[in-house]
Amino acid sequence: MPYAEYIAWQRECVAEMCRIIKDDGAIFYNNKNRVQNGLLEDRGEILKGFPLRQIIIWKRSGAINFNAGYFLPTTEQIYLLCNKAFKLAKGANKNTDVWEIKQEMKNPHPAPFPEELIDRIISSTTGKIILDPFAGSGTTAVSAKKFDRSFILIEKSLKYCEMAQKRIDGGDWRQRDVASREISLPIIF
């Protein structure tokens, strides 16, 4: 997607998320910085004007750096956007704003979150309904269930919807060929 189109699309997504959260609701938005044509593209353009309260640094383990032009990136940002009345769950404020959590290695989805990361987010809030509009393999649902929260997942790939469904149901979801079809409609289940 051309850069300007991508920024506009992500701004639309964030605006919709802001529209639907409650007065004490929050959004944990992760979107990696990138280097394009030798220059840093951060996410300030996407988040400009939205109610950003804090930037959490997710420190993951290293990977292979194929680019000789910059140091190996090992951090990502999680932007906490929220309405004024949002408060962390009791005791969660003892965590710092740097979270050292290894990335997920055993999940066949190409860009999964580690369960521990989502556990940290969900357990830090009192939200009863958790929405993940880019649900992938369904890590958010697994974590939401653990903390007795309801969840809504949206995912455009039928393959990943089926993977998430199997995972939630406790089936063998790690097979790489869970489904071969791809559709481009959002699905809520």
The DSSP bridge partners found for residue 98 are 57
The region of 14-22, 45-53, 119-127, 132-140 touching ligand SAM under the rule CB under 6 A is 132-140
Name 74's Cβ contacts closer than 8 Å, sequence gap at least 6: 59, 60, 61, 62
How many positions of this chain bind ligand SAM (CB under 6 A)?
14
CB 27 within 8 A of CB 81: yes
x/- mask, ligand SAM, residues 58-97, rule CB under 6 A, reads ----------------------------------------
Residue 125 within binding range of ligand SAM, rule CB under 6 A: no
Q: Which of residues 18 and 83 has its CB atom nearest to ligand SAM in the complex?
A: 18
**Least distance from ligand SAM to the Cβ atom of residue 132, Å:** 7
The region of 16-24, 36-44, 60-68, 133-141 touching ligand SAM under the rule CB under 6 A is 133-141
C-beta pairs of 16-20 under 8 Å, 24+ apart in sequence: 17/81, 17/131, 17/133, 18/50, 18/51, 18/81, 20/131
Residue 143 within binding range of ligand SAM, rule CB under 6 A: no
Pairing of strands 98-100, 129-132: unpaired
Q: Which of residues 125 and 137 has its CB atom nearest to ligand SAM in the complex?
A: 137
How far apart CA 21 and CA 129 sit, in angstroms, is 10
Residue 157 within binding range of ligand SAM, rule CB under 6 A: yes
Query: What amino acid is encoded at 62 in this protein?
Result: G
* Sites of contact with ligand SAM (CB under 6 A): 109, 111-113, 134, 136-137, 139, 154-157, 160, 186
